[in-house]
């Protein structure tokens, strides 16, 4: 009996505040082939930036990550998510951004991802890694909707934008410091991929 080959790529969807920074971080992770800013948790009709910004759509600003499991594991992506990409102890906000659209949520793509995430959160909580309890939620069965083009690659295209300088560039430095073996100097860009 032939065994199925392991999937060449897999997906993960993380929400953790403004998607500019989350996307920027994961665009610099080795083994990530795509990191797309978008919306998850609500309906297609409301997956529009101005509508999501009201905080009444059920959506969170999220990033859909496509990665090669042979290069980076889901567990390693979770480490980056919890250690670098956002603060998992802040309920419905990150930094200056407020509202449920900025919540800390893992949109699990499978039961296996859900179990790994639950286990990792329990590990972090039990070890008291953070001074406050983790408020990250897990959601399943939610569709991801890509954000408008002007939100894609925002960190790379706008490195001097004050919000990016203050909130997001330090995350890239933290990625380099905490996970040098996962850091890639050259980001994987969405808009460049769309043009090819």
Give me the pLDDT at residue 1, please: 41
User: Do 116 and 74 touch, CB atoms closer than 8 A?
Assistant: yes
pLDDT for 136-190, tens place per residue?
999 999 999 999 999 999 999 999 999 999 999 999 999 999 999 999 999 999 9
- Tell me, yes or no, if the pTM score tops 0.85: yes
User: Can you give the chain as a three-state secondary structure string?
Assistant: CCCCCCCCCEEEEEEECCHHHHHHHHCCECCEEEEEEEEECCCHHHCCHHHHCCCCCCCEEEEEEEECCCCCCHHHHHHHHHHHHCCCCCCCEECCEECHHHCEEEEECCHHHHHHHHHHHHHHHHCCCCCCCCCCEEEECCCEEECCHHHCCHHHHCCCCHHHHHHHHHHHHHHHHHCCCCECCCCCCHHHHHHC
Instruction: Provide mean pLDDT across the span 67-71.
Output: 97
Give me the pLDDT at residue 150, please: 97
Give me the pLDDT at residue 2, please: 41
Give me the pLDDT at residue 192, please: 72
Pairing of strands 104-108, 137-140: parallel
Give me the pLDDT at residue 195, please: 64
Domain limits of the chain?
A: 10-195
User: Do 96 and 165 touch, CB atoms closer than 8 A?
Assistant: no
Other C-beta atoms lying within 10 Å of the C-beta of residue 22:
28
Backbone angles phi, psi at 81, to 5 degrees: -60, -50
Pairing of strands 97-98, 104-108: unpaired
Instruction: Provide mean pLDDT across the span 98-112.
Output: 97
Q: Which of 5-14, 99-108, 159-168, 180-189 has the lowest mean pLDDT?
A: 5-14
- What tokens appear for 178 in the block? 């905490």
Active site residues: 18
Q: What is the CATH number of domain 10-195?
A: 3.30.1060.10
């Amino acid at each position: 009996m032939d065994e199925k080959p392991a999937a060449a790529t897999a997906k993960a969807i993380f929400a953790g505040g403004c998607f500019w920074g989350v996307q920027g971080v994961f665009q610099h992770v080795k083994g990530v082939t795509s990191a797309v800013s978008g919306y998850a948790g609500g309906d297609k009709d409301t997956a529009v930036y101005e509508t999501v910004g009201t905080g009444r759509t059920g959506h969170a600003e999220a990033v859909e990550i496509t990665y090669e499991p042979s290069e980076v594991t889901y567990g390693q992506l979770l480490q980056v998510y919890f250690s670098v990409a956002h603060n998992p102890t802040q309920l419905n906000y990150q930094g200056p951004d407020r509202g449920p659209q900025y919540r800390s949520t893992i949109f699990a793509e499978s039961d296996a991802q859900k179990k790994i995430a639950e286990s990792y959160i329990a590990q972090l909580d039990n070890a008291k890694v953070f001074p406050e309890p983790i408020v990250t939620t897990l959601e399943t069965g939610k569709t991801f909707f890509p954000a408008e083009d002007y939100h894609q690659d925002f960190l790379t295209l706008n490195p001097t934008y004050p919000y990016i300088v203050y909130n997001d560039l330090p995350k890239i430095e933290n990625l380099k410091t905490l996970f040098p073996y996962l850091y890639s100097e050259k980001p994987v860009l969405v808009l460049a991929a769309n043009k090819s």
